């Protein structure tokens, strides 16, 4: 897919400026696009959480995650729901890409870095635990910010070390069972 993207759009880095004006909140200065990205991320997270916790499709997805065969026996169309969850994942990934593009330059080859970060967040929070992944993302972001301030070149190394540490200390993640 990455190679197809390079063929379609080229390998050059592209960027644009969106709400890059500084905004001061309680003495701290933030770029407006980062505040919009934060708000959009919170809204998307809440909508996704509500979708999985309250709706019928969310309950079906959770049932399939626990035991697909039993969910099928209970009348859930597993194959159809796999397609729906893949589509929802694609929509969420697209929205994440749009949000990221407001803050960082984009290229056809930028996905690997964010995929690694996403895997670390999921393992850190606990596989299948949405709240744990949210907490894991916040922890990873805070540690990334601290390491970025001290030594910018070691941010990814710090993420890998966190990944290894959580696998060695608590393989089920922060809120995993």
| pLDDT tens string 87-98 | 988 888 888 888
Which residues have a Cβ under 8 Å from the Cβ of 37 and sit 6 or more positions away? 99, 100, 102, 103
How many whole angstroms separate alpha carbon 41 and alpha carbon 140? Answer: 15
pLDDT of amino acid 19: 82
Extract the tokens encoding 119: 């895997």
| Domain limit, last residue, from 87, 109, 131 | 109
Let me know if 164 is exposed, middle or buried by CB neighbors in 10 A (0-12, 13-18, 19+): exposed
SS3 call for 95: helix
Same domain assignment for residues 177 and 159: yes
**What is the predicted pLDDT for the residue at 16?**
75
pTM over 0.75: no
Last residue of a domain, one of 109, 132, 155: 109
Q: Number of structural domains, the chain?
A: 2
C-alpha closest to that of 34 among 16, 15, 18, 48: 18
What domain range is 61 assigned to?
Answer: 1-109
- To the nearest whole number, what is the mean pLDDT of the chain? 84
Give the burial class of 136: count Cβ atoms within 10 A of its Cβ; 0-12 exposed, 13-18 middle, 19 or more buried: buried
């Amino acid at each position: 897919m990455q190679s197809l993207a390079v063929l379609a759009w080229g390998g050059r880095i592209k960027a644009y400026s969106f709400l890059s004006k500084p905004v001061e909140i309680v003495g701290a200065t933030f770029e407006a696009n980062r505040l919009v990205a934060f708000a959009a991320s919170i809204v998307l997270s809440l909508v996704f959480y509500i979708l999985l916790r309250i709706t019928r499709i969310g309950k079906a997805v959770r049932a399939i995650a626990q035991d697909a065969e039993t969910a099928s026996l209970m009348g859930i169309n597993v194959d159809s729901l796999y397609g729906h969850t893949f589509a929802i994942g694609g929509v969420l990934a697209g929205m994440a890409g749009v949000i990221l593009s407001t803050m960082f330059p984009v290229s056809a080859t930028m996905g690997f870095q964010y995929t690694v970060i996403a895997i670390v967040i999921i393992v850190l929070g606990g596989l299948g635990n949405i709240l744990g992944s949210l907490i894991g993302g916040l922890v990873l972001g805070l540690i990334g910010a601290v390491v970025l301030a001290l030594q910018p070149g070691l941010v990814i190394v710090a993420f890998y070390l966190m990944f290894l540490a959580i696998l060695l200390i608590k393989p089920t993640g922060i809120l995993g069972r």
